[in-house]
Amino acid sequence: MGQRHQLFIIAKIGSRYRSLAAVHHQSLQDVQTVETCLRILVTLGNPANRRGIRHELANAATKPDAFWEDAEASWKSQFDSLFVPFPFIMTCLVIAASFVVEPPYNYPRISPEPLGMPFDGGDNNDGITVIDVTQPENLRYCFVFVDGSELGRRRSTPLSERLYRREYERQQREDYLEVLNSFRGRFEDEDDNDNMAPYPSGQLAVFEVLGIDCLKSAWPEGGWTDYGYVQTRRPKFLRL
């Protein structure tokens, strides 16, 4: 049950990108996904945490290809004894993904995923979030709708906050019009305007959007689609 979503931390290790940590979120979608992504970015980008991240990136760089290949080949068997080789990054991810700012402080169900799990290997119906920590002072992000996602006309491609939110706005409008049409003619002076509460877009505007080449490098088997509309320009400033 719930809008099941996975969140990944990746980085370029040697010649290609690798997944360093991932968690399963039992109920995450739409605005909550954007807000959670922002908390993770702020947590990982905090100067106090960059030293720990750089330490684990250096550790990851010492791992031979066989280390990553073994993890990818055996990830399904890790659930009984979860292997967490990058505990600092995993801790930051778990804390930021599960933190609840306002009461009643009902903490969501968060669980670590095994190292080497494919981007589409989790129990998912609402896509994934991917964050790149290759340069801790210049973090990047993207959202991806994968096969099994309930929404997403643009699948298997990196989406910015704006494009990710657009999928939900489209669905909300379709649902609104469906309900409106079902009541049409029953009331006088029907208001056809869509008065849904506005969303404060642009929360992630200072962060760069992860490009499709990074996803292809991290998960070569992904069958990625390049629609050619993702903006990956570097933000003018970033203060954390």
pLDDT in tens, 98-129: 887 766 666 678 889 999 999 988 887 788 99
Residue 234 within a domain: no
Please, what is the angle between helix 47-61 and helix 87-98, to 10°? Answer: 140
**Predicted pLDDT of residue 22:** 96
Could you tell me the pTM of the whole model? 0.81
Residue 233 within a domain: no
Residue 216 within a domain: yes
Residue 238 within a domain: no
Highest mean pLDDT among 47-61, 76-90, 139-153, 177-191: 47-61
- pLDDT bucket at 217, cuts 50 / 70 / 90: very high
Q: The tokens of 181 are what?
A: 């049409």
User: In this structure, what are the phi and psi dihedrals at residue 21, rounded to the nearest 5 degrees?
Assistant: -160, 150
Residue 123 within a domain: yes
Where does residue 156 fall: left (phi above 0), alpha (psi -120 to 50 degrees), or beta otherwise?
A: left
**Predicted pLDDT of residue 153:** 64
Judge whether residue 95 has pLDDT over 60. yes
Judge whether residue 225 has pLDDT over 60. yes
**What angle is formed at CA 39 by the lines to CA 33 and CA 45, rounded to 5 degrees?**
130
Least confident of 15-19, 50-54, 61-65, 174-178: 174-178
Q: How many separate domains does the chain show?
A: 1
Residue 236 within a domain: no
Percent share of the chain, pLDDT over 70? 73
Residues 6+ apart with CB under 8 A from 199: 31, 165, 169
Query: Sheet harboring 208-209: ordered strands across?
Result: 110-112, 16-25, 5-13, 128-132, 140-144, 208-209
Residue 89 within a domain: yes
Residue 239 within a domain: no
> Containing domain of residue 47, as a range?
5-184+192-222
- pLDDT bucket at 237, cuts 50 / 70 / 90: very low
Whether the upstream peptide bond of residue 104 has omega within 30° of 0, thus cis, is: yes
For 124-151, what is the mean pLDDT?
87
Query: What 3-state class would DSSP assign to 46?
Result: coil
Spatial separation of the C-alpha atoms in residues 238 and 138, rounded to whole Å: 8
